[in-house]
Amino acid sequence: MIRKVVEKLRLDPPKTLVIGFALIILIGSFLLTLSSATVDGRGLNWLDALFTATSATCVTGLVVVDTGTTFTVFGQIVILSLIQIGGLGFMTLATFFALLMRKKISLRERLILQESLNQLSIEGVVRLAKMILVFTALAELIGGILLSIRFAFDFPLGKAIYFGFFHAISNFNNAGFDLMGDYASLTAYVDDPFVTLVVCALIIVGGIGFMVVSEVYDYRHTHRLSLHTKVVLSTTAFLVVLGTVLIFALEYTNPKTLQPLSMLGKVLGSLYQSVTARTAGSNTLSIGDMHQSSLFLIILLMFIGASPGSTGGGIKTTTFATLIGAVVAQIKGKEDVIFFRQRILPHMIYKSLTVTMIGLFIVIAVTMILAITEPSAPFQMILFEVTSAFATTGLSMGLTPELSPFGKILIVLTMFVGRLGPLTIAFALAQRKQKEYFRYPKGKITIG
């Protein structure tokens, strides 16, 4: 249906993605209002249904009602379906069905797929879409089986399998929805190495980007990695290690988080929070009980987010690395930003700066508005929730269920913008670019 609407309206790729995601959210919202979607038989009201559908489609994980106790199996399957569509991207799924029906993928559809997968060109996008579908199925299958085996020690077999696959799909897509009840997430497994390592692996693999996964898989034949893959892998490893070490140090003596745990539990708890902050949303420590310094660190990690072409949000690891590289180059008095003996083009630096500034503006503006509309909420809690929504992380200090109707709508819009990306939204709203027939003379201003 979405494909037919797109073809009829002849929209450009950014507008197609915006309208496509909006239609999916509206369909999901309608399904969650049905009486069969909730345990009480009343269905969700439209605002809560819209919030939940947006959070699932944008693979965020912020919730206004508890997923495990509010929804029936039908409602949970609707949420899981939205997570899968939102994580893969509707154009990837549309390409899959088109290939199944042996339909030719048009140039226009390849351009939309390119925008959806955040690729530099249309070359190989159909092959990449096929790889994404196969890899996603394998990752979720393996993760689901492993978690089902572990959960079988705590739940009846049928429930363990259902829980195992639900949490595998949710965490691979960096969504963070859980079925444990009472907003507990995976806190019961904070010192469980099996659950921690399996879920962390799902989050990381889902968050490094499908192009990176493809290159790593092909490395045995090509023995070559692109600059993009090298930057993503090195930056991801750096952020995971740095986040783990800092959370371990900051929370070590906190009696409500790490202090009661064994040394292994402390390490696992620190690792999980470091990984999930970029942009999964499930948690094994009580987020609201963490020290302010730890919460601010998590805000920074959430804002950076995952990597391009992945299921995660944020400004992306490559953007962060490029900006840090530019700062280092300026400090050293060098003209070029160099990564792995390759020069970053100036327009990529400008794009990184644009993405970061737009992201900062959105977070600051929404935080300021919510500080006015939610006067009883602490400022750090508001900033945390807004950053979580923009980065499509889903971690929460508990403010989301208490938001006013206006606050919920604002967070819905923030999640939507965060999932599609600030530049995609900007391009969708902007007028068609006009060719410039002249350039102004150079001018100088004093900086710093």
Query: Residue 377, CB half-sphere, CA atoms under 13 Å: how many?
Result: 26
Q: 432 lies in a domain?
A: no
Kindly tell me the sign of the dihedral angle through the C-alpha atoms of 238, 240, 243, 248. negative
Beta bridge partners of 337: 344
Is the peptide bond prior to 95 cis by the omega test (within 30 degrees of 0)?
no
Burial category of 392 from C-beta neighbours within 10 Å (exposed 0-12, middle 13-18, buried 19 and up)? buried
- DSSP 8-state symbol, 227: H
Residue 308's pLDDT is 82
Q: 448 lies in a domain?
A: no
Residue 93's pLDDT is 55
Distance separating alpha carbons of residues 323 and 353, to the nearest angstrom: 7
Positions in the chain short of pLDDT 70: 1-17, 89-129, 422-438, 444-448
Distance separating alpha carbons of residues 97 and 103, to the nearest angstrom: 9
DSSP notation for 50-116: HHHHHHHHTT----SS-HHHHB-HHHHHHHHHHHHHHHH-HHHHHHHHHHHTT----HHHHHHHHHH
Residue 124's pLDDT is 58
Q: 437 lies in a domain?
A: no
The Cβ of residue 323 has, within 10 Å, a number of other Cβ atoms equal to 17
Tally of domains in the chain = 1
Q: 296 lies in a domain?
A: yes
For residue 172, what are the domain limits?
A: 2-425
How distant, in Å, are the alpha carbons of 140, 169, 253, 359, 447 from that of 145? 8, 11, 36, 37, 56
Q: 438 lies in a domain?
A: no
Q: 71 lies in a domain?
A: yes
Cβ pair 302, 219 in contact under 8 A = no
Q: 411 lies in a domain?
A: yes
The Cβ of residue 331 has, within 10 Å, a number of other Cβ atoms equal to 8
Distance separating alpha carbons of residues 268 and 260, to the nearest angstrom: 13
Q: 440 lies in a domain?
A: no
Q: What is the CA radius of gyration of the chain?
A: 22
Nearest to 390 by CA among 362, 354, 352, 351: 362
